[in-house]
Amino acid sequence: MLRIPAMLVPALLLSGAACAQDFNDKAPNAAGQTPAFEGQTRAPEAQGAVRLDTEVVVDGLDHPWGMDPLPDGSWLVTERSGALRMVAADGTLSDPITGLPDLDARGQGGLLDVLVAPDFEQSRRIWLSYAAPAGEGRNQTGVATATLSQDGRSLENLKEIFRQQPAWASDKHFGSRLVLDRDGMLFVTLGERSDPEPRATAQNDDNHIGKLVRIGPDGAPAGAGTEGWLPETWSKGHRNVQSAALDGQGRLWIVEMGPQGGDELNQPQAGLNYGWPIITYGEDYDGTPIGEGITAQEGLEQPVYYWDPVIAPSGMVIYDGEMFPEWQGDMLVGGLVAKALVRLDIEGDRVAGEGRYLEGIGRVRDVEQAADGSLMLLTDADNGQMIRVTRAD
Ligand SMILES: [Ca+2]
């Protein structure tokens, strides 16, 4: 079938029921915007012939947000309302692990990501990200490291190693995926706290608002080293980043939660500016332009790919397992609004195709890869689930 790029089709035609079911045929929110290069949005559908099976490992989780596997096949899972639990390989759910930092669990805040150290068997070390209370209704994204007790019931040696500066009285846009790079440095994705006042400071160099930061395992600054920037800052001009993963070359990729019609894939380079809120695709939730409504400007980076309408990304892996060899090197991104697993077929650092799987499974908050190459998903709900995804054939 000849596929006409949807950008070129008048919006009236797109409202026809015949095309409404295909994600690539939905009308964009921000009509009239033009991609900066071919293939920057609406890549051809890349569904492939892979058939998937799902199995609910655990349900009854209260808005689970992050997870990471332990060496013995069990998983650590966070619940945003403030619990860290262990899920055994057989699906047995532990009581909440004690010894967490203080949390501000309002709105999008609470306990967020969890990361297990590569040397966990020796060190028992983990990192957590969370919304940290800062007094007078304010809060800020925090990161702490701790060791898990031998019986797995409590955190010990808890030490806070980072707080986003400054704090704001907002319950939105905390970031905060944690990724350890091959130098043992910790990337912490952040947000711009959503409100107009902090958003307007996302381009300022004297704060962590709208920044991607990089720190040592105990919090020592390890940023880009750009003159005038805070020493932790790696890149700037980000809106709210809840998806991040390393690729096979050890490079960080992120998927940003954009405005209505402006989710972005970026490969953030040290010292560069990713534009928010000066340039962006999409529009504000009330349909008005963001800033001057421009999508490109000299000195500001273009996303590798963008979505209009959005998927609302949260959590991703870059697949390198054996169970789905045809997906190796591809990005598997959780979609909160898409309510699906979104696959980006990557060729030469560009998106060659996009596929949607398990549509209707729920708001996918996190995606991880298990040791056997199966996938694990978390769904964001009062009755959230941890779901194992395997090959059906
Ligand atoms: Ca951008």
Identify the DSSP state of 4.
P
Within a 10 A sphere around the Cβ of 102, how many other Cβ atoms?
A: 11
Over 90: is that where the pLDDT of 388 sits?
Answer: yes
Cα of 278 vs centre of ligand 1, distance in Å, is 9
Whole-angstrom Cα distance, residue 174 to residue 134? 14
What is the average per-residue pLDDT within 179-197? 98
**Nearest residue to 5 (alpha-carbon basis) of 283, 338, 49, 14:** 14
pLDDT-above-90 percentage for the chain: 92
Compute CA distances 147 → 117, 151, 159, 321, 331, whole Å: 10, 11, 10, 28, 30
pLDDT score recorded for residue 376: 98
Cα of 79 vs centre of ligand 1, distance in Å, is 29
The predicted-structure confidence for 146-157, as pLDDT tens digits, reads as follows: 999 999 999 999
pLDDT score recorded for residue 4: 40
Whole-angstrom Cα distance, residue 264 to residue 258? 7
pLDDT score recorded for residue 12: 33
- Residue 218's pLDDT band (cuts 50, 70, 90): very high
Mind giving me the DSSP string for 281-303?
SSB-TTSPPSTT-BS--TTSPPP
Cβ atoms of residues 210 and 159 within 8 Å:
no
Cα of 258 vs centre of ligand 1, distance in Å, is 8
**pTM attached to this predicted model:** 0.93
Which residues are tagged catalytic?
A: 173
Over 50: is that where the pLDDT of 2 sits?
Answer: no
Element (H, E) at 162: strand 155-163
The predicted-structure confidence for 39-50, as pLDDT tens digits, reads as follows: 999 999 987 789
| Fold topology of 46-391 | Neuraminidase (2.120.10)
Burial class (CB in 10 A: 0-12, 13-18, 19+), 71: exposed
The partner residues of 147 in beta bridges, in order of sequence, read 125, 156
Strands 125-133 and 313-318: unpaired
Whole-angstrom Cα distance, residue 80 to residue 129? 11
State the residue for tokens 């949807």. 6
Joined tokens for residue 90? 């057989």
The partner residues of 159 in beta bridges, in order of sequence, read 145
pLDDT score recorded for residue 10: 35
Cα of 212 vs centre of ligand 1, distance in Å, is 12
Cα of 125 vs centre of ligand 1, distance in Å, is 34
Instruction: Decide: helix, strand or coil at residue 326.
Output: helix
Cα of 167 vs centre of ligand 1, distance in Å, is 23
Cα of 237 vs centre of ligand 1, distance in Å, is 7
pLDDT score recorded for residue 21: 46
The predicted-structure confidence for 94-110, as pLDDT tens digits, reads as follows: 999 999 999 999 999 99
Cα of 39 vs centre of ligand 1, distance in Å, is 16
pLDDT score recorded for residue 182: 98
pLDDT score recorded for residue 200: 96
CA–centroid distance for 77 within its chain:
16
Q: What does pLDDT average to over the chain?
A: 94
Cβ atoms of residues 380 and 393 within 8 Å:
no
Cα of 243 vs centre of ligand 1, distance in Å, is 14
The predicted-structure confidence for 7-30, as pLDDT tens digits, reads as follows: 333 333 333 233 334 788 899 999
Whole-angstrom Cα distance, residue 33 to residue 293? 9
Cβ atoms of residues 353 and 45 within 8 Å:
yes
Whole-angstrom Cα distance, residue 293 to residue 287? 11
Within a 10 A sphere around the Cβ of 133, how many other Cβ atoms?
A: 19
Over 50: is that where the pLDDT of 138 sits?
Answer: yes
Cα of 175 vs centre of ligand 1, distance in Å, is 15
Element (H, E) at 146: strand 139-148
Whole-angstrom Cα distance, residue 146 to residue 130? 14
Give φ, ψ of 201 to 5 degrees. -100, 5
| Vertex 17: Cα angle to 12 and 21 (nearest 5) | 110
| Vertex 359: Cα angle to 350 and 254 (nearest 5) | 35
What is the average per-residue pLDDT within 45-69? 94
Whole-angstrom Cα distance, residue 175 to residue 108? 10
Whole-angstrom Cα distance, residue 62 to residue 57? 15
Q: For the chain, what are the domain ranges?
A: 46-391
The predicted-structure confidence for 309-364, as pLDDT tens digits, reads as follows: 999 999 999 999 999 999 999 999 999 999 999 999 999 999 999 999 999 999 99
Cα of 142 vs centre of ligand 1, distance in Å, is 24
Cα of 88 vs centre of ligand 1, distance in Å, is 39
